[in-house]
Amino acid sequence: MVTKGDNKSLIPRIDWQNLVFERITSGDLLNWIEEYGSDILFQFDSKGYAPIHWVSKFGLHDITTTLLENGVSASTPADVVCGAQPIHIASMEGHTEVIDVLLSYGADVNARDKYKCTPLMRAVMTGSHHVRNSRTILHLLCRGADPYLFDGNKFSVLHYATLKEDLEAVNLFLNIGVNPNLRSQIGVKSLHIAYYTGNYQIVKRLVIASSVSPYAIYSLHQRQFRANKSIKSLLADIYNYGASFFMVIWFLSILVFMYPAYVYDLVPNSMEYVKLHVVLLASSGLDWVLWYATWATRSYVQPNSLEYKKVLEAKLVSASKLKEEIKKISESKSKERIKLPGIPYFSVKLCHTCKIIQEIGTKHCSYCNRCIANHDHHCIYLNNCISSYNRILFIALTFSLAVTGSSLIIILYISLQKTNYKVNWRQFGLFLLALNLCFNGGLMLVHSIIKLFKNLVI
Ligand SMILES: [Zn+2]
Ligand SMILES: [Zn+2]
């Protein structure tokens, strides 16, 4: 085998990314090796990466196997500042198959890069408020990743999950016993980071987990309010009372604007069309009834932490078996491939926030912060999730809203005819409101019916 130093002097650094890709997509990696010898697989490109790093980045696990079979080390560090190994790169990109291939050739699941970061830390770091990577995190844990390690700055995985505002990961780490009171080198706790990012849910979760006194919870809450995310916290508080910002706007526009404007501007000009007024008032009344019924029907999945704990533990148990086998292989120094143990309950999805097993169709709603069975969507005007429990009510509501909107438009048209189309601001406002009722009502009606049929088919 040619060492890295020799290669540097023999062949100038090449831009592998394109070359590796070209060879892989044309399917002649093996011919390529025959042509240039397998030394080509140990070369580093101008960016400091070898082919093994690129295939790990792009999740090409078959090619990863070929490279490893040809003697490439599964723990080759890249010639870059952080010195990432292929397993770090695969963890950042969420390629669990590549992670497994690398492990089966003896890569260390707790390998450290130059910043002493483990693959698990790297996986947590790539998560964000919008992109959840709990699947990769759980996979690494099942493969023996140690969640209690620190990086070079004494930051734990919990610090990183908090920084990334990944509530799912924060809950997972707390559930498996990561200490929330750990301090980094400069004395920073996860809770400090949570204040900095201003994530209300994570602050709450960490406060409870750190068993801070009730007074401290109150003062932390006040501090959170004063942080520059006050609008966010205010909204969070309104949500806690079962209302939402849009709901308030909605109520005000109907009660304070629509009804008075209707009585004042439209009724005097359209007295003779009694049937139309009856339709409008009846459907408007029905709107409120259906609105209340849809709002009051909550379809939260009840927490079942015992079942959750059982599955989570079963998933994590495979780690210890694997660790022993990898240890044996690395002690014997053979380049043999290890057969990785299967992960029990592999396809069972868990929600680490609600501590439940997620059935098909169950989704965690970030507004309600609860898991919803047969989730359709979260309605901001109802501040409730639409699911199979209240879908029929919701369809009736949208239909009824569309009737209200269209009868309002007809009455508006008749009264405008009487006044020779002189429009005042209230009538214009009524027109916009009615249009919104028809449009939104109609749109959601179509959406819900499509969703209903999809669910029936599945
Ligand atoms: Zn949930
Ligand atoms: Zn919701």
Mean pLDDT in consecutive groups of 10 residues from the start of the chain, 458 residues? 44 65 69 75 84 88 86 88 93 93 90 94 81 84 92 93 91 92 87 82 85 62 52 55 73 89 86 89 94 88 87 87 78 75 86 90 85 87 86 90 91 86 84 88 82 69
Strands (E), 292-402: 349-351, 356-358, 363-365, 370-372, 375-379, 384-387
> According to the model, what pLDDT value does residue 172 have?
93
pLDDT of 1: 40
Can you say whether the dihedral through the CA atoms of 334, 53, 132, 346 is positive or negative?
A: negative
Q: Considering the domain boundaries, does residue 394 fall inside one?
A: yes
Tell me whether residue 240 is in a domain.
Answer: no
What pLDDT is recorded for position 267?
85
Alpha helix stretches (DSSP H) within 379-424: 391-418
Domain range enclosing 294: 245-299+389-457
Residue 3 is predicted with a pLDDT of 44
**Cα 383 to ligand 2 centroid, rounded to whole Å:** 7
Tell me, yes or no, whether 419 lies in a domain: yes
Count of domains for the chain: 1
In the prediction, which pLDDT does 6 show? 47
Q: Tens digits of per-residue pLDDT, 183-193?
A: 888 888 898 88
Ligand 1 centroid to Cα of residue 371, in Å, is 4
198: tokens are: 């201003």
Q: Is 280 part of a structural domain of the chain? A: yes
From the CA of 350, how far away is ligand 1's center (Å)?
Answer: 8
Three-class SS state of 358: strand
Using DSSP bridges, classify how beta strands 370-372 and 349-351 pair: parallel, antiparallel or unpaired.
Answer: unpaired
Question: 44 in a domain, yes or no?
Answer: no
Residues with CB under 5 A from ligand 1 (ion): 351, 353-354, 364, 371
The confidence score (pLDDT) of residue 4 equals: 45
Query: Alpha-carbon distance 85 to 368, whole Å?
Result: 40
Ligand nearest to the CA of 364: 1
CA dist 241 and 237 (Å) reads 7
149 within domain boundaries: no
Beta-carbon contacts of 1 under 8 Å, excluding residues fewer than 6 positions away, are 42, 71
CA distances to 55, 316, 357 from 327, rounded to whole Å, are 26, 18, 33
Instruction: Please report whether residue 267 resides in a domain.
Output: yes
How far is residue 79 from each of residues 101, 381, 454, measured CA to CA in Å?
22, 53, 50
pTM: 0.76
Interval between CA 443 and ligand 2 midpoint (Å): 19
Nearest bound ligand to the CA of residue 363: 1
Query: Ligand 1 mean position to 137 CA, how many Å?
Result: 17
What's the CA-to-centroid distance between 254 and ligand 1, angstroms?
Answer: 34
Distance 365 CA to ligand 2 centre (A): 5
Residue 251 Cα to ligand 2 middle (Å):
19
Q: Is 305 among the domain residues?
A: no
Q: How far apart are the C-alpha atoms of 85 and 296, rounded to whole Å?
A: 52
